[in-house]
Amino acid sequence: MARATRVISQTKPRNADDASESGYLDGNDKELLACLRAGDDGCYEILVRRFGPQVLATAKRYLRSDADAADCFQDTFLAVFESIDKFEQRSTIATWLRGITINQCLMKIRAQGRRQEDSIEHLLPVFDEKGDRINSCTSKRSCGIGESIDTAQMKRLVRETILELPDTFRVMLLMRDIDGYSTKETAIILGISVTAAKTRLHRARTALGSLLKPEMERLKYHADV
């Protein structure tokens, strides 16, 4: 667990804000960090106000309820306040905070216990005895035609669909595809083998694709994806 915490706090996700992170800390970050380490109350308020929206948005991605996200928000800043001296400046403050937030979310999900998760087997590919793929209608949802949808609606639909995935698969998908950790980093953080992480990721993506496919066809969404 300690190793996972270290990895998640210090790993710089690939697809996040890399371009702006080439020097890791810009002038604003350096100034804020110095001020935080000096114990200035005003700087802690600046930190919470500047990065609070990002922390809350990340918590809402991983946790299903707003109340849990609010708890995670508090726990994240508490952890930050306690560990600001340990920040090694190998990423921006934003990236460091995101790692701590995700770690707090994972602890919360684990603390809630492993609930009986819905099976996603019906969303996975089916093969015949020769190993050939059998195409089948995999979504439980009914299909209509003719509605149009804009990008904002599509984003909401996709977020809601990701939330439908069981925690095991949703967390894997979010960490790997949204927050940009590598498969190996994600495996270490989650305490599973790389092979298990790859299997989980493949199943998560496949399930998401199966859930979204009929929606895309039904809603005639033709965005450039």
Least distance (Å) between residue 37 CB and other proteins: 14
x/- map, 60-79, other proteins, by CB under 8 A? xx--------x--xx--xx-
Least distance (Å) between residue 218 CB and other proteins: 14
Options 3-11, 26-34, 113-121, 123-131: segment touching other proteins (CB under 8 A) = 123-131
Instruction: Find out whether 21 and 12 touch, Cβ atoms under 8 Å.
Output: yes
How many CB atoms are closer than 10 A to CB 60?
19
Report which residue type is found at 81. Answer: F
In our burial notation (b when 16+ CB lie closer than 10 A, e otherwise), range 122-141 reads ebeeeeeeeeeeeeeebbee
Could you say which of 27, 53, 113, 146 contacts other proteins (CB under 8 A)? Answer: 53
By the rule CB under 8 A, 164 interacts with other proteins: no
By the rule CB under 8 A, 94 interacts with other proteins: yes
Q: Where are the beta strands (DSSP E) in 84-194?
A: 126-127, 133-134
Torsion of CA 37, 39, 45, 46, to 10 degrees: -40
Could you say which of 173, 187, 188, 189 contacts other proteins (CB under 8 A)? Answer: 173
Instruction: Find out whether 22 and 95 touch, Cβ atoms under 8 Å.
Output: no
Residue 216's nearest CA partner among 131, 141, 105 is 141
Residues that bind other proteins (CB under 8 A): 13, 15-17, 20, 41, 44-45, 48-49, 52-54, 56-58, 60-61, 70, 73-74, 77-78, 81-82, 94-95, 98, 125, 127, 130-133, 135, 151, 154-156, 158-159, 162, 173, 177-180, 183, 198-199, 201-202, 205-206, 208-210, 212-213, 216, 223, 225
